[in-house]
Amino acid sequence: LHGAPILQGRRSTFLGSLGTEARMLGVTIRLASEVVKYWDSNEEPAVVLRGGETLRADVVIVADGVHSPARWLLTPHARKAAEKIPSGYSVHRSAISAEKLKADSRCSRTLRARNASLRNRLTFSLCLDLLDGTIRTWLGPDAHACTYPLDNGNGLAFTYTHRDDGSLASLDWRDKKPIAGMLKELTGWDPVLLAALSHFPSSLHWTIVDEKPEEEWISAGGRICFVGDSVHPMMPTAFQGGSQAIEDAAAIALCLALTGGRPDGVPLTLETYEALRRPRIKEAQALGKLV
């Protein structure tokens, strides 16, 4: 919506805030603790760490991403590899410090237009400055580019989504490519955009694939559940991957609170969580395919 305010920030900053809040609430955060086995009990589920330690709880919430190892451990009958459905597109993505752009006058432009029909011949001006904190989108043939601010205007990020038959990018979202190839493809686009992108040394470039949502959100024992991309992967065009995982967590927290903290209420809690979230997830996934 043009002119609407935005609340924007880096995921790393947000995760840091979550970690701080969790510690203040007494949550113990353990790093480098790889889970190699799950005990799917209907009374007391548990996880086994690589070092052999077993951790038991009333409920286990799995949030290990789109390539979820837990999925294969808990549902051996499931697909051995997630079914990748080509979308026909790939995306470039990168970020840079704003300092590298401020000295380049090409990264801003003032557009002027005169309305000759008015008696006083007013002249209208529109300033295009990529560092003014605005999210901007450029549309092209079967492609679009977007720039957006980072770190309170101290950085600029971009995405460029375009047609790809699978020969240009890989499935690995960490695949880094020089920016020169992308700039060549953008020949003829807005000079302000091209000037800004020329300061980026490289970008991450990966194929956009659609993945069928998992049928099972809860383990057979009823006390282990999946959240986020481990159960409902989102296409990047939905801009909903992280936010839907946060909504999952909020729904589980609310449902657990309504049980009064009773362990025997966990199975019903997780069933309610799934019933509440499935329609919302289905809608978000569908909207992502329309972009």
Give 79-126 pLDDT, tens digit per residue.
554 556 777 888 899 999 988 888 888 887 654 444 444 444 444 444
From residue 41, give the alpha-carbon distance in Å to each of 14, 57, 148, 235, 248.
Answer: 33, 10, 46, 33, 22
pTM of the model: 0.76
Count of beta carbons in the 10 Å neighbourhood of residue 259:
15
The pLDDT of residue 88 is 83
Q: Which tokens belong to 96?
A: 């840079």
CA dist., res. 259 & res. 68, Å (int): 28
What per-residue confidence (pLDDT) applies to 121?
46
Phi, psi of 44, rounded to the nearest 5 degrees:
-150, 95
Beta carbons of 84 and 249 less than 8 angstroms apart: no
- Give the model's pLDDT for residue 2: 63
Give me 140's structure tokens.
Answer: 């092209």
Position 101 scores a pLDDT of: 87
Domain ranges, ordered by start, for the chain: 37-83+212-288, 87-209
Q: Note the CATH architecture for domain 37-83+212-288.
A: 3-Layer(bba) Sandwich (3.50)
Evaluate whether 49 touches 36 at the Cβ level (below 8 Å): yes
Amino acid 172: pLDDT: 67
pLDDT at 124: 41
Do β-strands 224-226 and 60-62 pair in parallel, antiparallel, or remain unpaired?
Answer: parallel
- Cα-based angle 123, 129, 134 (whole degrees, multiple of 5): 110
Residue 277, CB half-sphere, CA atoms under 13 Å: how many? 29
**CA torsion, points 261, 262, 263, 264, in degrees to nearest 10?**
-140
| Amino acid 14: pLDDT | 87
Type of residue at 72: W
The residue behind tokens 């951790």 is 55
CA proximity to 144, closest of 152, 136, 155: 136
| Helices assigned H by DSSP within the chain | 11-24, 69-74, 99-102, 179-185, 191-197, 241-258, 266-288
Residues of the chain with pLDDT under 70: 1-3, 76-84, 109-128, 166, 171-173, 210-213, 289-291
Q: What is the pLDDT of residues 220-243, one digit of tens each?
A: 999 999 999 888 888 777 777 888
At 120 the pLDDT is: 46
